């Protein structure tokens, strides 16, 4: 049975997911790691559909980190092939669900067979307004921050911005996520309790849900359970519990 949707004010607008555990899922079953990634790629689509069905507005999926190039070339190539396969198979249907598709990370370093379909998908869906699907590919939060800091420094040198007047928004507007709301919820599968260079600045006030489930077993039901867990959390943004809880004593 699928989980109920939390009431609107308890529903995250933007969810980020660190999809982890594909390798362990495969090795538990005596399967090659790529089989874990293949099953993980199928789950990815199931979770996108679940997010849309629950009324979440934006989903950012950490599909390939800037550090993942250190993996064996065969695994890296296999991951990109899976990415291209999943895109080709589901793009049309996702487009019918009004999904706007974008990427964060440096995709210029990726092979053409995936980079070109990705760029085409971004261009073809740019006017869709139903749901934002952001795929983090060759992404690292520190790399993104350095790039934004360089832009700020260049603008300061060019006299376009006064260094003393720089505010958080000036940096945030130069991050790759500019225009997107900050994530309200970050989910990490496979029980690891790390952010692993994912949306470090944007997640400053995000709630974090860690689930022991390996990504290939994390489907619509588990996503719904994570939303339920989020709905129970009290977000304080530095305030006291009394300040943020609505008063119930008025007569
Ligand atoms: C982490 O599992 C998962 C990844 C590094 C890749 C996630 C990719 C997909 C779900 C497939 C879609 C691919 C693209 C490029 C869109 P792990 O291998 O780190 O698992 P382990 O920690 O158990 O070894």
CA angle in degrees (0–180, nearest 5) for 24-29-31: 85
Q: DSSP state, 108?
A: G
- How far, in Å, from the CA of 248 to the mean position of ligand 1? 46
Contact 138, 109 (CB under 8 A): yes
Of the pLDDT bands very low, low, confident and very high (cuts 50, 70, 90), residue 241 is confident
Residues in CB range of 120: below 8 A, 6 or more apart: none
pLDDT tens per residue, range 20-48 = 999 999 999 999 999 999 999 999 999 99
> Domain spans of the chain?
18-232
**For residue 250, pLDDT beyond 60:** no
Q: Is 26 in the pocket of ligand 1 (CB under 6 A)?
A: no
**pLDDT (0 to 100) of residue 84:** 96
Q: Is 23 in the pocket of ligand 1 (CB under 6 A)?
A: yes
**For residue 192, pLDDT beyond 80:** yes
What distance in Å separates the CA atoms of residue 191 and residue 88, rounded to the nearest whole number?
31
Burial of 243 (0-12, 13-18, 19+ CB in 10 A): exposed
DSSP-derived secondary structure for 159-197: TSS-GGG--HHHHHTTSTTTTSPPPSEEEE-TT----TT
Of the pLDDT bands very low, low, confident and very high (cuts 50, 70, 90), residue 243 is confident
What distance in Å separates the CA atoms of residue 14 and residue 18, rounded to the nearest whole number?
14
Average pLDDT score over residue span 171-176: 98
Contact 24, 190 (CB under 8 A): yes
Q: Is 118 in the pocket of ligand 1 (CB under 6 A)?
A: no
Q: Is 65 in the pocket of ligand 1 (CB under 6 A)?
A: no
Contact 223, 4 (CB under 8 A): no
Average pLDDT score over residue span 141-150: 98
Average pLDDT score over residue span 177-200: 97
Pocket residue to mutate for ligand 1, from 63, 81, 91, 107, most atoms within 8 A of Cβ = 63
pTM over cut 0.85: yes
Please state, rounded to an integer, the average pLDDT across all residues of the chain. Answer: 95
What distance in Å separates the CA atoms of residue 47 and residue 191, rounded to the nearest whole number?
18
Average pLDDT score over residue span 227-238: 92
**pLDDT (0 to 100) of residue 246:** 66
What distance in Å separates the CA atoms of residue 169 and residue 13, rounded to the nearest whole number?
19
Phi, psi at 161, each rounded to 5°: -145, 140
CATH topology of domain 18-232: Undecaprenyl pyrophosphate synthetase (3.40.1180)
Q: How many CA atoms lie within 13 A of 179 on its CB side?
A: 6
């Amino acid at each position: 049975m699928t989980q109920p949707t939390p009431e609107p004010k308890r529903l995250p607008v933007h969810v980020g997911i660190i999809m982890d555990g594909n390798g362990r899922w495969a090795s538990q079953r005596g399967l090659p790691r790529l089989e874990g990634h293949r099953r993980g790629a199928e789950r990815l689509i199931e979770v996108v559909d679940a997010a849309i069905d629950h009324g979440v507005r934006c989903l950012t999926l950490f599909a390939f980190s800037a550090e993942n190039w250190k993996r064996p070339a065969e695994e890296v190539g296999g991951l990109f092939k899976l990415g291209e396969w999943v895109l080709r198979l589901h793009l049309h249907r996702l487009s019918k669900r009004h999904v706007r598709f974008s990427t964060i990370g440096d995709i210029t370093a990726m092979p053409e067979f995936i980079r070109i379909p990705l760029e085409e998908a971004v261009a073809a869906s740019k006017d869709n307004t139903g749901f934002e699907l952001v795929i983090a590919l060759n992404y690292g939060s520190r790399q993104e921050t350095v790039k934004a800091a360089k832009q700020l420094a260049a603008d300061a040198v060019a006299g376009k911005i006064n260094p003393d007047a720089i505010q958080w928004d000036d940096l945030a507007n130069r991050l790759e996520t500019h225009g997107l709301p900050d994530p309200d919820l970050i989910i990490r599968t496979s029980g690891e309790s790390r952010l692993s260079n994912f949306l470090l600045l944007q997640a400053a006030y995000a709630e974090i849900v860690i689930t022991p489930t390996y990504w290939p077993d994390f489907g619509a039901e588990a996503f719904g359970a994570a939303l339920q867990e989020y709905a129970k959390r009290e977000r304080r943004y530095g305030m006291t519990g009394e300040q943020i809880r609505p008063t119930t004593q008025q007569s």
